[in-house]
Structure 1
Amino acid sequence: MAEKKPRGRPATGQTPNRTVRVPDEVWDDAKAKAEAEGKNVSDVVNDCLRRYLRKK
């Protein structure tokens, strides 16, 4: 019996993917601003969550 190959593409990052709902308008604006700053939306979300967690 032949071994089955894993399905899908291999993971590319070190952290798991998360799913959140974001309105298109907010996402598009965030993506444009992040790109203008040389970042991606994931970087921005991580920064925001870290700031949120530092708040008391």
Structure 2
Amino acid sequence: MPRPATGHTPRRSIRLGDEIWEQVEYIADLDGTTATSVVKTALMEYIAKRRRQERVQRRSKDAETP
């Protein structure tokens, strides 16, 4: 049975080493934001970058097809 809608974003768990987490907290402090915000922003930037790369690769393959 699916979880009922609560209007909130569900929590997710990830494992990060202390070295990475300390850098996340440092950046959050510099930016005056939360560690969650830093991680979300970094993930969204990474996803956008990978999607751009995927589009370029797809176009390259399409151009090679006779």
TM-score above 0.5, yes or no: yes
Alignment TM class, shorter chain as reference? 0.5 to 0.7
Distance between the aligned counterparts of 1:29 and 1:48, measured in 2?
12
For residue 48 of structure 1, what is the aligned residue in structure 2?
42
Unaligned runs of 5+ in 1: 1-10
Q: Percent identity?
A: 33
Decide which structure has the larger Cα Rg and report it: 2
Give me the TM-score of the superposition, normalised by structure 2. Answer: 0.56
Distance between the aligned counterparts of 2:31 and 2:48, measured in 1?
23
Superposition deviation, residue 21 in structure 1: 0.7
Matched, 1:38 2:32: yes
Distance between the aligned counterparts of 1:53 and 1:28, measured in 2?
23
Give me the TM-score of the superposition, normalised by structure 1. Answer: 0.64
Higher helix share: 2
